[in-house]
Amino acid sequence: MHFMVPAIVALLFIAPAICVADIKRHKTVPETFWGQWGLVDQPCSQDNRLALVITGTSYTHPDARCAIDWVGETAGRAGPIYSAHMRCLAGEGAQPSTANLILMSRDGEEVALGGDFQSLRSYRRCPAGPQPTPAAEE
């Protein structure tokens, strides 16, 4: 009985640590995702208006421009899962809104992106145009 009380107290301290997800917080999107991305089933072109552009601190798509506030990294079965937390403007004079973007690397040239896991779509890196560089991010 005397050993039971310390064991229960120890369990109370250990159990919450087991239940907490391990999320690493980053200031920028990993370089793996930097560049211009087009849907896998659509070829990239020089004037690809449907392309997404990701840099360390921004995300641009045809409907909005977003500033990335921070990025969370969580371990996933097939590799890290990133979630970018952003402030977006949908047009001139529009009020900023908050948004999240899930980023999952499938390989060096293909990623899955979406606002939530149900809306993930596959994108392929577009070869045209210069890629963002770390020096341009500062």
Classify residue 11: in a domain, yes or no: no
Please, which pLDDT band fits residue 6 given cuts at 50, 70 and 90? low
Classify residue 88: in a domain, yes or no: yes
Task: Check residue 136 and give its pLDDT.
Answer: 46
Following DSSP, what letter does each residue of 47-59 receive, concatenated? T-TT-EEE-SSEE
For 88-137, what is each residue's pLDDT tens digit?
Answer: 998 777 789 999 999 999 887 899 999 999 999 999 998 855 544 444 44
Classify residue 93: in a domain, yes or no: yes
pLDDT surpasses 80 at 21: no
pTM: 0.72
| Side chain identity at residue 43, one-letter code | P
Q: Is 111 left (phi over 0), alpha (psi -120 to 50) or beta?
A: beta
Mean pLDDT of 54-80: 94
Classify residue 100: in a domain, yes or no: yes
Can you give the residue range of the structural domain that contains 74? 22-137
Classify residue 60: in a domain, yes or no: yes
- For residue 53 the two structure tokens come to 């552009």
Task: Check residue 131 and give its pLDDT.
Answer: 46
Share the mean pLDDT of the chain. 81
Classify residue 17: in a domain, yes or no: no
Classify residue 28: in a domain, yes or no: yes
| Side chain identity at residue 76, one-letter code | G
Instruction: Write out the E strands in the chain.
Output: 23-26, 35-39, 52-54, 58-61, 64-74, 81-89, 97-107, 110-114, 121-125
Instruction: With H, G, I as helix, E, B as strand and everything else as coil, classify residue 119.
Output: helix
- Our count of domains for the chain comes to 1
- For residues 138 and 43, the model is more confident at 43
pLDDT surpasses 70 at 138: no
- For residues 83 and 78, the model is more confident at 83
Classify residue 48: in a domain, yes or no: yes
The DSSP output letter for 132 is: P
65's enclosing H/E stretch is strand 64-74
For 28-65, what is each residue's pLDDT tens digit?
Answer: 999 999 999 999 888 777 666 668 999 999 999 888 99
pLDDT surpasses 80 at 26: yes
